[in-house]
Amino acid sequence: MHRAGTDAPNILLVVMDTARADAFEPYGAPSGATPTVAQLASIGHAYRDVFSTANWTVPAHASLFTGLHPSTTGLGQAAGGPFGCRHRLEALKTRMLPEVLRNAGYATAGVSTNMWITNHSGFATGFDRFEVVRPEHRARINGGRLRDRLLWDLDAVRAVQDDGAADVARVLKRWLEESRGGSFFWFVNLTECHSPYLPPRPYNDLAIWDRIRAGEESRRHLTLSEIWKVCLGAGVIPAGALARMRHLYTRSIRYMDDWLARVLDLLDREGVLEETVVIVTSDHGENLGESDLIGHAFSLDDRLIRVPFITSHNDVLGGVGAQSLADVPGALANLIGARDHPYDGASSTSGIAVAELERLLEPSDPRVEKACDEWQLNEIGLSRLTTSAWCATDGRYKLVHNGSEETLYDLADDPLELEPMAVSGSLSAALSAVVADLHRAGEETLRRGLDDLEDMSADSKRARSAASEVSAEELEAIESQMRRLGYL
φ, ψ (nearest 5 deg) of residue 280: -115, 120
- Domain extent, residue 372, equals 366-452
Q: Are 366 and 277 in contact (CB under 8 A)?
A: no
Question: For residue 481, what pLDDT is reported?
Answer: 53
Q: Are residues 129 and 271 in the same domain?
A: yes
Q: Are residues 269 and 300 in the same domain?
A: yes
Q: Are residues 73 and 124 in the same domain?
A: yes
Instruction: Give the CA count within 13 Å in the CB-facing half-sphere of 48.
Output: 9
Q: Residue 392: CB partners within 8 Å, gap ≥ 6?
A: 352, 353, 354, 398, 399, 438, 439, 441, 442, 445
d(C-alpha 254, C-alpha 249), whole Å: 9
Q: Residue 94: CB partners within 8 Å, gap ≥ 6?
A: 100, 342
DSSP structure class, residue 314: T
Q: Are residues 229 and 187 in the same domain?
A: yes
Q: Residue 43: CB partners within 8 Å, gap ≥ 6?
A: 312
Q: Residue 462: CB partners within 8 Å, gap ≥ 6?
A: 80, 84, 86, 87
DSSP structure class, residue 107: E
Q: Residue 57: CB partners within 8 Å, gap ≥ 6?
A: 17, 114, 116, 117, 283, 284
> Exposed (0-12), middle (13-18) or buried (19+): which is 355, by Cβ within 10 Å?
buried
Question: Do the bridges between strand 397-402 and strand 389-393 make them parallel or antiparallel, or are there none, so unpaired?
Answer: antiparallel
Confirm whether 4 is domain-assigned. Answer: no
* Greatest pairwise CA separation for the chain in angstroms: 65
DSSP 338-369: --S-TTTT-S-BTTBEEEEE--SS-TT-HHHH
Q: Are residues 291 and 225 in the same domain?
A: yes
Q: Residue 290: CB partners within 8 Å, gap ≥ 6?
A: 301, 303, 416
d(C-alpha 83, C-alpha 90), whole Å: 12
Question: For residue 348, what pLDDT is reported?
Answer: 60
Question: For residue 277, what pLDDT is reported?
Answer: 98
Confirm whether 389 is domain-assigned. Answer: yes
Q: Are 233 and 227 in contact (CB under 8 A)?
A: no
Question: For residue 49, what pLDDT is reported?
Answer: 95
Confirm whether 360 is domain-assigned. Answer: no
Q: Are residues 412 and 463 in the same domain?
A: no
Confirm whether 480 is domain-assigned. Answer: yes
Helix (H) or strand (E) holding 306: strand 306-307
d(C-alpha 262, C-alpha 273), whole Å: 12
Beta bridge partners of 354: 392
User: Residue 133 corresponds to which amino acid?
Assistant: V
CATH number at residue 258: 3.40.720.10
DSSP structure class, residue 403: T
Question: For residue 327, what pLDDT is reported?
Answer: 94
Number of domains comprising the chain? 2
What is each CA distance from 68 to 162, 449, 454, in whole angstroms? 33, 8, 13
Q: Are residues 32 and 86 in the same domain?
A: yes
pLDDT in tens, the chain (488 residues): 444 555 799 999 999 999 999 999 999 999 999 999 999 999 999 999 999 999 999 999 999 999 999 999 999 987 677 888 999 999 999 999 999 999 999 999 999 999 899 999 999 999 999 999 987 655 567 666 788 788 888 888 999 999 999 999 999 999 999 988 899 999 999 999 999 999 999 999 999 999 999 999 999 999 888 999 999 999 999 999 999 999 999 999 999 999 999 999 999 999 999 999 999 999 999 999 999 999 999 999 999 999 999 999 988 987 778 999 999 999 999 999 988 899 975 556 679 999 999 988 888 888 888 889 899 998 889 988 999 999 999 999 999 999 888 999 999 999 999 999 877 766 888 899 999 999 999 998 888 776 666 544 444 344 445 444 555 555 555 555 545 555 54
Q: Are residues 317 and 246 in the same domain?
A: yes
Q: Are residues 272 and 400 in the same domain?
A: no
Q: Are residues 140 and 49 in the same domain?
A: yes
Q: Are residues 313 and 408 in the same domain?
A: no
Q: Are 115 and 139 in contact (CB under 8 A)?
A: no
Helix (H) or strand (E) holding 331: helix 328-335
Confirm whether 2 is domain-assigned. Answer: no
DSSP structure class, residue 319: S
d(C-alpha 413, C-alpha 397), whole Å: 10
Question: For residue 462, what pLDDT is reported?
Answer: 47
Q: Are residues 283 and 300 in the same domain?
A: yes
